[in-house]
A = this chain, B = another copy of it.
């Protein structure tokens, strides 16, 4: 009886570790004393039939396999929150403010080429839609924001978007240079970079606002 249990353990371990399904002959060959494995396999199959893992026979070979009813566990959908890139945010903002806007117009405003992927992404998210075609040479597609955009951003219509003056009043559009300029006031730079005085061409830019 103990030997029987030992054999069960062995078959279990062999099947677990095997990199491919095993036929009965290879199992027999590996077991000390080469016992008959048919009954062992049948017993294991029964034991595991109600478990999370089942012993199954496929094309005459044996293998462990996750119970079919639990397959859903093995797939997990993960929702990842991702922030829009700055390019995508700006493109979206320009489309909202200037719609209908062609790609060329967006590029003109941004001063940078707008990658196709950026507009595609915004359309895939569902915030941007094709509005029509501009009746100019080449008949370029024009883009606008979607209803979903308005809902998600809490707007009745794009007319509700604050104007330039309002942006200024809200402090969003002030004369502060954008971060990307990394400007330092000259006096501050002097204190920070005592050693760099020798390099006059490393001069920071002065803000010219009144």
Interface residues of A (CB under 8 A from B): 8-14, 16-17, 29-31, 50-53, 64, 66-67, 70, 73-74, 76-77
Bound Cα distance from A70 to B11, whole angstroms: 10
Report whether B76 and A17 are in contact in the complex, using a CB–CB cutoff of 8 Å: no
Q: Are B66 and A30 in contact (CB under 8 A)?
A: no
Inside 8 A of A50's CB, which chain B residues have their CB? 9
**Chain B residues within 8 Å of A11, by CB:** 52
- Asked if A12 and B53 make an inter-chain contact with CB atoms under 8 angstroms apart, the answer reads yes
Cα distance, A12 to B17, chains bound together (Å): 16
**Closest-CB distance, A65 to chain B (whole angstroms):** 8
Q: Which residue of B lies closest to A78 (CB)?
A: B29
- Max count, chain B CB within 10 A of own CB: residue among A29, A31, A70, A77: A70
Q: 14 extra interchain contacts, Cβ-Cβ under 8 A, other than A9-B51, A14-B74, A30-B76? A: A8-B52, A9-B70, A13-B52, A13-B73, A14-B52, A14-B73, A16-B52, A16-B53, A16-B66, A17-B66, A17-B77, A29-B76, A30-B73, A31-B73
